[in-house]
């Protein structure tokens, strides 16, 4: 009779057999992911399936954290694993240490997943793109100060728009620390509106050299940036996550400078064309007005209008002449009345009487017209034709008054 053992013993025995087999301790396995679960503990649980069979798989958090992409249901992968048995459930399963996409690189898989996720969040939406200023005064430049990209951009600026000013924020453009440096440089330029537009630039390189520009931190920093951002990374055929989230993508750093900066020669030619067009338009309009004026000037209505004007001018001339004659007659009659009145006033003037040897007597500013008004001692002011005298009444008689002359002015 066979030895009786416990289920635990059986499961542990089978596990020891599996784990002691050198073939099963380091195995490469190809299959399609099904029933994938990313547990809150960080572990991955899923099944690997081919056309006929499936096997359960687990990838612990320490190994899963090294992946640059998120596994998905239906994804064909190759895993490096060991085979064992889970004692508690007696479940035969594989323990995955590394996982690779089958037919596409892990880096490319991470790129596609991040691109899809950011696009779904709206970071690539056209309506979120900020317009690039047409005539930027100051341009922020995020690149390596020793790289060729900066010199290419400055060379184009000197040729196209020498008035432009640049503010460089140095950052590494490849390597493990480059993404943090790029984010810090971008934020430094964006703070306080120091520049009108920011160019993130790097010259050409291998796909691995440009991979830093696929970073999620950099993409989100560009999206949050208040200043318009232009991506100028690599060559024309190279696309990065930065290209999709930036407000404008330029194929090369040189192309970025040409897109951002106006061309002074082209603007000068355009202004010359506008000026010439304006001159032609004004000349054409003047010729049209002159033609219309000439036609109107010799039209029957205008000739009749001129005749009416001539008749009215003639009538106005007659009225003005008549008014002048009437005004002259009125003035002549007025002059005669003034002369007559003047003669009358002259004949009545007291100074005319004084010139014949008489004088006028005033007492306290009032004329004395009757000797009865006087009393001895009264002070009188005698006014002659050419002088005045102050007198005191000494004696009043019926025929003649005697006065004492005090002064002659």
Residue 312 covered by a domain:
no
Q: Which of 262, 284, 316 is the last residue of a domain?
A: 262
Mean pLDDT of 65-88: 88
Q: Which of 228, 262, 296 is the last residue of a domain?
A: 262
Strands 54-59 and 91-101: parallel
- Same-domain check for residues 68 and 142: no
| Dist. CA 256–CA 149, nearest whole Å | 10
- For residues 111 and 2, which has the higher predicted lDDT (pLDDT)? 111
- Same-domain check for residues 150 and 252: yes
Residue 326 covered by a domain:
no
- Same-domain check for residues 97 and 169: no
Residue 93 covered by a domain:
yes
- Give yes or no for residue 396 having a pLDDT over 50: yes
User: What three-state secondary structure class fits 65?
Assistant: coil
- Same-domain check for residues 83 and 131: no
For 316-350, how does the pLDDT look when each residue is reduced to its tens digit (9 = 90+)? Answer: 999 999 999 899 989 988 888 988 888 888 777 77
- Same-domain check for residues 142 and 254: yes
For 269-312, how does the pLDDT look when each residue is reduced to its tens digit (9 = 90+)? Answer: 999 999 999 999 999 999 988 888 888 878 888 888 888 888 89
Q: Which of 103, 134, 159 is the last residue of a domain?
A: 103
User: What three-state secondary structure class fits 43?
Assistant: coil
- Same-domain check for residues 219 and 136: yes
Residue 277 covered by a domain:
no
User: What three-state secondary structure class fits 67?
Assistant: coil
Q: Hey, what are 83's tokens?
A: 């085979």
- Same-domain check for residues 90 and 144: no
Residue 331 covered by a domain:
no
- Same-domain check for residues 94 and 137: no
- The full DSSP string for 203-239 is ----TTTTGGGG-HHHHHHHHH-SS-EEEEES-TT--
Residue 60 covered by a domain:
yes
Counting the structural domains of the chain, the total is 3
- Give yes or no for residue 82 having a pLDDT over 90: yes
Predicted model pTM: 0.53
Mean pLDDT score across all residues of the chain: 87
For 165-182, how does the pLDDT look when each residue is reduced to its tens digit (9 = 90+)? Answer: 999 999 999 887 899 999
CB–CB of 12/91 below 8 Å?
A: no
- Same-domain check for residues 132 and 99: no
Supply the pLDDT for residue 1: 62
- Same-domain check for residues 230 and 186: yes
- Same-domain check for residues 61 and 167: no
User: What three-state secondary structure class fits 56?
Assistant: strand
- Same-domain check for residues 75 and 140: no
**Residue 206 pLDDT level (bands cut at 50, 70, 90):** confident
| Dist. CA 85–CA 14, nearest whole Å | 7
For 236-275, how does the pLDDT look when each residue is reduced to its tens digit (9 = 90+)? Answer: 676 899 999 999 999 899 999 999 999 999 889 999 999 9
**Residue 409 pLDDT level (bands cut at 50, 70, 90):** very low
- 140 lies in which domain range? 126-262
| Dist. CA 130–CA 54, nearest whole Å | 50
Residue 364 covered by a domain:
yes
């Amino acid at each position: 009779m066979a030895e009786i053992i416990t289920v635990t013993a059986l499961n542990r025995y089978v596990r020891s057999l599996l784990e002691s087999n050198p073939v099963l301790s380091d195995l490469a396995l190809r299959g399609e992911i099904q029933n994938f679960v990313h547990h809150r503990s960080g572990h991955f649980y899923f099944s690997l399936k081919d056309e006929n069979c499936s096997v359960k798989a687990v990838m612990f958090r320490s190994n899963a954290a090294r992946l640059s992409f998120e596994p998905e249901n239906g994804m064909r992968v190759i895993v490096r694993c060991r085979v064992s048995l889970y004692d508690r459930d007696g479940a035969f399963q594989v323990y995955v240490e590394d996982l690779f996409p089958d037919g596409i690189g892990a880096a490319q898989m991470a790129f596609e997943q991040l691109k899809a996720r950011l696009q779904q969040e709206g970071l690539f939406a056209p309506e979120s793109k900020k317009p690039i200023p047409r005539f930027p005064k100051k341009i922020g430049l995020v690149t390596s100060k020793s790289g060729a990209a900066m010199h290419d951009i400055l060379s184009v600026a000197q040729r196209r728009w020498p008035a432009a000013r640049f503010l460089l924020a140095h950052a590494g453009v490849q390597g493990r620390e480059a993404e943090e440096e790029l984010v810090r440089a971008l934020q430094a330029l964006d703070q306080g509106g120091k520049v009108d537009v920011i160019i993130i630039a790097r010259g050409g390189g291998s796909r691995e050299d440009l991979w830093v520009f696929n970073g999620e931190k950099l993409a989100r920093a560009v999206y949050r940036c208040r200043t318009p951002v232009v991506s100028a990374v690599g060559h024309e055929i190279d696309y990065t996550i930065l290209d999709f989230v930036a407000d404008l993508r330029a194929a090369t750093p040189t192309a970025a400078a040409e897109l951002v900066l106006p061309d002074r020669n082209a603007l000068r030619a355009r202004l010359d064309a506008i000026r010439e067009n304006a001159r032609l338009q004004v000349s054409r309009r003047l010729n049209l007005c002159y033609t219309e004026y000439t036609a109107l000037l010799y039209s029957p209505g205008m000739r009749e209008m001129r005749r009416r004007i001539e008749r009215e001018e003639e009538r106005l001339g007659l009225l003005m002449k008549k008014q002048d004659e009437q005004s002259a007659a009125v003035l002549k009659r007025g002059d005669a009345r003034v002369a007559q009145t003047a003669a009358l006033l002259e004949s009545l003037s007291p100074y005319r009487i004084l010139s014949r040897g008489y004088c006028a007597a005033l007492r306290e500013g009032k004329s004395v017209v009757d000797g009865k008004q006087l009393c001895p001692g009264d002070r009188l002011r005698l006014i002659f034709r050419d002088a005045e005298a102050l007198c005191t009444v000494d004696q009043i008689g019926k025929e003649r008054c005697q006065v004492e002359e005090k002064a002659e002015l």
